[in-house]
Amino acid sequence: MRAFIVRPFGTKRGMDFDHVGETLIGAALTQCGIEGRTTSEIMSPGNIRESMFELLLTADIVIADVTLHNANVYYELGIRHALRDRITVLLRGVGGELAELAPDAVPFDLLTDRYVAYPIGNPAEALGKLVAAISQGSASSASDSPVFKLLPKLRAPSPDDFLAVPVGFKECADRAIDRASKYAGTDTRDLYWGDLALLAREARSFPWARAGLRLIGRKQFDHKRHVGARATWEAILRNDESDLEANLKLSTIYQKLGNYNASNDAVERIRARTDLAPKLRAEEQALLGSNLKVQWLESLKASPPESTLESALFADSLKAYEEGFRADRNHYYSAINALALTVIRRELAERYPQQWELGQPDDDTFEPGEMASRELNRVKERIECLKAGVALALESADEFEAEQNAVWRAFTAADLRCLVSSDPRKVGLGYRQVIEKYRDAFPFAIDSARAQLNLLQTVGVLNDNVAAGLAAFPPVVKAQAGAPASARGRIVLFAGHCVDSSGRQNPRFPRTPEAKQAAAQAIDTRLQRVRARPGGVALGMASGRSGGDILFHEACKASGIATWLYLARPSAYFTNVAVNPADDDWASRFYTLLDERGEACRVLQDLDPDADPQAGLPKWFAQQPPYDVWHRNSAWMLFNALAFGPDRVTMILLWDKDPAGDDSGVTKRLVDLAEEIGVEVDVIDSKTVFGLA
């Protein structure tokens, strides 16, 4: 979360508001893990008022000190109350003993508002109360803006609608996707998908964080990177658990990952909203229907197809899709799914009349057989209604829906033909035409259409139409050269100290043969320990600095483990700053490593060819100390490793455990990030290895 502080600056009437900002407000935000401060963080060329408006709109939380009648404070507070319905926390100093320290009276318009009082003489005394107020406000969905309280039908604008994600950031994401697409079915593809996760993490540091996360999350979702997409959308949800798009996406993502309870929880959060338009209410019901459908299909693995006629999961799924279409008659997704399940019910009822008759409710008015026949006729009548409903919804969507949804409309039309046509040739032609026209569509759309046909195939209905439809799809791309790394074993990431440069006063990695051998042995011992576990080691990853990095690559080579080399700067520059200072034979060993890696070498600048030539960081990444090219390279490696699955990553560190160190805390920051994500971390205490303890 990001905060914006609205308060007086300096000392006013004997009150030191900078002291209040540091000891109370800043301390509370730090304790709550919230970034962002005052307008001092936007002191850059341009219109400061424009930047201020942006922060007042986009900040997750605003803290306003109303101790004095300060015009700027009330001006900014009024803007916040007009733009955002929540979370704004008011502060007021109390208890001044001297006349000049007495606070001003609370303005009439704010008399009924709650605020956190702090002693003017000791602001830090109210730290606990402010932390509690921030935590309660973050957890509550209630409005605290008098504007939105008095105008309950007024809707707060989404901050994301006013935030422009830098063009360079978008281009970085597009480059990652383009590269990943070129390596379908290989380990290399997964590495490139890790680039998106890095960008998602970095986006959190900016005012446009949520807009940036949405951009990445949508791309991950569209390309079926479900684990990465889950982390991205959950990051958005942590700021606002009622976020509509995040819950819509997560409901599907959790379902794909087999976590049906979490998927249903996301649907419930959507249902709890009272401001849903008919289309979104239909979407919510469709998600519920999809969850139930997946669970019904799971149950079919241990049951014959005719059990569908008695399945409560199947019946509830159909009901949810029907409710979705009832909520919005233009929602063709609900309609086509309701039609598909109703066709399945008809086909199975005709094929298994005894099971169909058994499932009818008791009714003394009709004989069981007559009751079953009447109900089957109702099913057939419903099919005719749904056929017309899908066709009309598609007709309306073709006229009014966004072009970006054209692929979904086209596949829905092909699905409709499959469900109602008696000519398999026309069914196959329909799918072929859609696939030819939208061959570059994102994989999620293609796979969703294929899944609809697979569902019918699983139940064993409309077999000729289904076979013709499936024949139109391109073959599923299988992994090359055996199973992917994520299925073969662990991914081992190495980071740690490089060899000391000449003249270093406090040794960390001594420039001696004995130190080199001791480090090599310690690294190999830890590597073999991981290798001995079930599945062994599939892949190693490290940078190429003198010392630990090169020794790790060499240890992997000796054990037959393939490695990837990650360079923070182009090789010539990298050698000068990270290899040559160690003298000895490190440069020749580095170039041998570089030659051996070939394409298995990544240079950070490839993420953004237009990066600043001096700093090595993207131009959109300005003003983010202490994050530099070395911090970014280590995080990049970690997120590339995580692309194979967080539970498969082991990070080995050669480290003296100094939180600051000579590398601006790069290693400590990497450790903190890995532990936050849940990566297994194995630290080799360099002081012990080199006898420096």
- Cα separation, 253 vs 237, in Å, equals 14
Could you identify the residue written with the tokens 């709550």? Answer: 32
Question: For the chain, what is the mean pLDDT?
Answer: 87
| 603, β-bridge pairs | 567
362 token code pair: 């008791």
User: What mean pLDDT do residues 156-160 have?
Assistant: 79
Nearest to 462 by CA among 345, 352, 294: 345
Query: Lowest-confidence range among 325-329, 386-390, 500-504, 570-574?
Result: 500-504
Q: With contact defined as beta carbons under 8 Å apart, do 453 and 469 qualify?
A: yes
Q: What angle do the packed helices 71-83 and 48-58 form, to 10 degrees?
A: 50
Instruction: At 603, list the tokens.
Output: 């240079």
| Contact assessment for residue 293 and residue 337, using Cβ atoms and an 8 Å cutoff | yes
As a whole number of angstroms, the distance between CA 50 and CA 47 comes to 5
pLDDT the model gives residue 38: 62
Task: Please report, in angstroms and rounded to a whole number, the separation of the first and last CA atoms in the chain.
Answer: 40
Closest CA to 7 of 54, 98, 77, 110: 77
Spell out the long-range contacts of 609-614 with Cβ–Cβ below 8 A and sequence spacing 24 or more. Answer: 610/168
At 477 the pLDDT is: 55
338, 326 contact by CB (below 8 A): no
What's the mean pLDDT in 546-550? 95
For 55-101, how does the pLDDT look when each residue is reduced to its tens digit (9 = 90+)? 888 888 999 998 888 888 888 899 899 988 888 999 988 876 444 44
Residue 297, C-beta contacts closer than 8 angstroms, at least 6 positions apart: 455, 458
- Residue 160: what pLDDT? 76
- pLDDT number for residue 51: 72
3-state secondary structure of 267: helix
- pLDDT at res. 542: 97
Assess whether pLDDT exceeds 80 at residue 643: yes
- Predicted local confidence at residue 362, as pLDDT: 66
| Residue 562, C-beta contacts closer than 8 angstroms, at least 6 positions apart | 539, 540, 556, 600
Residue 231: per-residue pLDDT? 94
Residue 103 has pLDDT above 70, yes or no: no
Residue 308 has pLDDT above 80, yes or no: yes
How do residues 18-56 score in pLDDT, each as one tens digit? 999 899 998 999 888 887 666 555 444 445 566 778 788
pLDDT-derived band at 381 (thresholds 50, 70, 90) equals very high
Rounded to whole angstroms, the Cα distance separating 80 from 144 reads 11
Rg (CA), the chain: 31
Question: What does residue 3 show for φ and ψ, rounded to 5 degrees?
Answer: -120, 160
Report, as an integer, the average pLDDT of 630-655.
93
173-183 pLDDT per residue, tens: 999 888 887 77
**Greatest Cα-to-Cα distance within the chain, rounded to the nearest angstrom:** 101
Residue type, 46: G
Residue carrying the six token digits 């202490």: 626
Average pLDDT of span 212-226? 92
Please, which pLDDT band fits residue 292 given cuts at 50, 70 and 90?
Answer: very high
- What's the chain's length in residues? 693
658 to 61, 151, 508, 655, 663: CA distances (angstroms): 34, 55, 10, 8, 10
Q: How confident is the model at residue 479 (pLDDT cuts 50, 70, 90)?
A: very low
- Helical residues (DSSP H) of 208-331, grouped into ranges: 209-222, 226-239, 244-256, 260-271, 278-300, 312-327
Bridge partner list, 490: 537
By C-alpha distance, which of 391, 297, 298 is closest to 344?
A: 297
For residue 561, CA distances in Å to 70, 392, 531, 555, 647 come to 65, 58, 10, 8, 19
Three-state SS at 536: coil
The tokens of 611 are what? 């990066």
Which single residue is written with the structure tokens 């109370």?
24
Q: What tokens does 26 get?
A: 């800043």
- Residue 483 pLDDT: 46
Count of CB atoms situated within 10 Å of the CB of 661 = 15
pLDDT at residue 525 greater than cutoff 50: yes
Distance of alpha carbon 543 from alpha carbon 152, whole angstroms: 56
The domains located in the chain, with CATH, are 3-152 (3.40.50.10140), 181-471 (1.25.40.10), 485-689 (3.40.50.450)
Two tokens, residue 120: 């003017």
Dump pLDDT digits (tens) for 271-280.
Answer: 888 778 899 8
pLDDT in tens, 132-153: 988 888 877 778 888 888 888 7
The pLDDT assigned to 37 comes to 65
Q: How far is CA 473 from CA 41, 454, 579, in A?
A: 53, 12, 51
Q: What does the pLDDT average to over 619-627?
A: 71
Angle of helix 244-256 relative to helix 278-300, nearest 10 degrees, comes to: 10
- Looking at the predicted structure, is the pLDDT value of residue 237 above 80? yes
- Model confidence at 614: pLDDT above 80: no
Determine the pLDDT at residue 487: 54
Residue with the two structure tokens 């087999």: 258
Instruction: For residues 567-571, give the mean pLDDT.
Output: 92
Round to whole Å and give the CA distance between 472 and 431: 6
Identify which has the larger pLDDT, 191 or 318.
318
pLDDT digits (tens, 9 = 90+) for 390-440: 999 999 998 888 888 899 999 999 999 999 999 999 999 999 999 988 877
Residue 216 confidence (pLDDT) above 50: yes
